[in-house]
Amino acid sequence: MAVTTRLTWMQEKKLQNCLGGKQFSLLFKASVHESSSEDLLRRCCNQGPTITVIYSDDRVIVAYMSQGYDEQNKFTILFNLEGTKILKCKIEPVSPLKVFNSRSNLYNCKNLDFQIDLKERKVTMSLNTIEKLTLPQCEIVSFQECEVFRCEDLLDTRKMKGLSELRESLLSAIRTYKPYRDLVCQIRILLLGPIGAGKSSFFNSIKSVFRGHVTHQALVDSNRTGKSEQYRTYSIKDGKDGNVLPFVLCDSMGLSEKKGLCVDDIFYILKGHIPDRYQFNFMKPITPGCGNYINFPMLKDRIHCAAFVFDANSIEHLSVEMVAKIKRARREMIKCGVVYLVLLTCVDSMDLIVRGDLIDIYRCMPVKLKIEKVHKNLGFAISDILVVSNYTSEWDLDPIKDVLNLSALRQMLLAADDFLEDLPLGETAIEERQLTSVQKKN
Ligand SMILES: Nc1nc2c(ncn2[C@@H]2O[C@H](COP(=O)(O)OP(=O)(O)O)[C@@H](O)[C@H]2O)c(=O)[nH]1
Ligand SMILES: [Mg+2]
């Protein structure tokens, strides 16, 4: 059976942040392995930097050793984790052999700042250390459990190499993607969601990956006032002069309680009646025949997949009116047979989330809770909720963000295939006849 830690997610996260984005792998646990310093040293030698965690009632005392258990440490840092508080102090570098040397007379080693007796389950600390960590004035602290972890950088070169390879394979899969039975040349993806959710930023992020540098074509509304009232359909080229990619991202006006997109307009967008640069008017829903309304849209003009975009930080604060609008929009999609997914943005700015977490974001507890909330409050299936992280103020491309965003895009293309495959036979037959006649003419 796998040996599991007693550290909570929150405690691990706090330590990770204090130690500059490290991840921990459990090497030793006193209650599972032999409670002897010899066994501990055998398991923990040659493992690089380590943390030794002492659980004493509600308190967790942690010793970070920069050189681990093999040699004399350059520095040792002690932490005292109590509830949500974390206190740290640097102590004289300690030799692990001395820390755990059961043969030494523990209580006579007054010159050591920190010493553990595994057999007796007691830690001794100097008065100076006790004061710095605001521990109760008692030099000997008894404990219930002791664990040792190896500390590694969350983003080491091996992981970054793996990410770059994944990024390349996603790019290649999207470049070479062909819509189901070639029924259309490009998949049209509608981005829909509250004002300020990150719809335009998602388009900019995808365009940036294919362009090779960060671009901000679509106006991003940093004040979240919802100024984008135009319907924009964006085709993206692979590189500056490359081929047009097999998808179009359609950026709509944001949903809002008052001045946002009329939910009645969604039906016309889905069916392909609305042209690029159409000016929305929240006071006046679209009526057939108005302006440059497309009277007889073809399959290529329709929306093949929709993405509801939500800011992870405001999912709990959506008003009753907004939730009702979202649910209506979803019903509209079901009616039109359009498949939909959810994009959860801004996870990078959530409390305690660091860049390194983005490589395994679906396992991050606060993100899992957000996904649960979207599922419970809005009724979307958990498997349809995808996490993305948009470019906001960066200058350089980040493979971690690219992998998240490209994975979401790939899921949308696969979902669009489901839509095309599910079209009533009559509709695909007409479309295929039109396609062959266009091909013959050319
Ligand atoms: N940290 C972070 N900020 C984001 C993300 N996506 C969007 N934003 C910010 O959210 C604000 C609104 O974004 P925008 O794309 O204009 O939202 P839209 O109204 O849905 O098009 C801007 O300040 C963006 O920089 C994200 O993934 N992470
Ligand atoms: Mg926008």
Verify that 145 and 172 share a domain, yes or no.
no
Verify that 149 and 258 share a domain, yes or no.
no
Q: Which residues contact 376 (CB under 8 A, 6 or more apart)?
A: none
What is the pLDDT at residue 281?
83
Contact 343, 190 (CB under 8 A): no
Atom 25 of ligand 1 has which residue's CA nearest to it? Answer: 392
**165-169, long-range: CB < 8 A, 24+ apart:** 166/403, 167/399, 167/402, 167/403, 167/406
Distance 26 CA to ligand 1 centre (A): 38
Distance 202 CA to ligand 1 centre (A): 8
Asked if pLDDT for residue 393 goes beyond 80, the answer is yes
Q: Which of 392, 393, 398 to mutate to test the pocket of ligand 1 (most atoms within 8 A of CB)?
A: 392
- Per the structure, the count of domains in the chain is 2
Task: Indicate which atom in ligand 1 lies nearest the CA of residue 254.
Answer: 19
Q: Which residues contact 124 (CB under 8 A, 6 or more apart)?
A: 106, 107, 109, 112, 114, 115, 117, 139, 140, 141
Distance 284 CA to ligand 1 centre (A): 27
pLDDT for 4-30, tens place per residue? 999 998 899 889 888 888 889 999 999
Helices in 250-340 by DSSP H: which ranges?
A: 263-270, 320-336
Verify that 189 and 287 share a domain, yes or no.
yes
Contact 225, 253 (CB under 8 A): no
Helix axes 199-211, 399-421, angle to 10 degrees: 110
Percent pLDDT > 70 in the chain is: 89
Residue type, 20: G
What is the pLDDT at residue 99?
63
**Could you tell me the two tokens for 132?**
């710095």
Contact 253, 228 (CB under 8 A): yes
Q: Which of 191, 199, 201 to mutate to test the pocket of ligand 1 (most atoms within 8 A of CB)?
A: 201
Q: Tell me how far apart the alpha carbons of residues 54 and 143 are, in angstroms, rounded to a whole number.
A: 7
Distance, CA of 162 to chain centre: 17
The answer to whether position 5 is within a domain reads no
pLDDT for 310-366, tens place per residue? 999 999 999 999 999 999 999 999 999 999 999 999 999 998 888 888 988 998 999
Verify that 146 and 246 share a domain, yes or no.
no
Verify that 176 and 147 share a domain, yes or no.
no
Residue 302, domain CATH: 3.40.50.300
The answer to whether position 213 is within a domain reads yes
Q: What angle do CA 68, 74, 77 make, to 5 degrees?
A: 70
Verify that 344 and 230 share a domain, yes or no.
yes
Verify that 263 and 350 share a domain, yes or no.
yes
Verify that 179 and 318 share a domain, yes or no.
yes
- How does strand 122-125 pair with strand 140-142? antiparallel
Verify that 298 and 406 share a domain, yes or no.
yes
Atom 12 of ligand 1 has which residue's CA nearest to it? Answer: 196
- pTM exceeding 0.75: yes
The answer to whether position 243 is within a domain reads yes
Containing domain of residue 19, as a range? 10-29+140-153
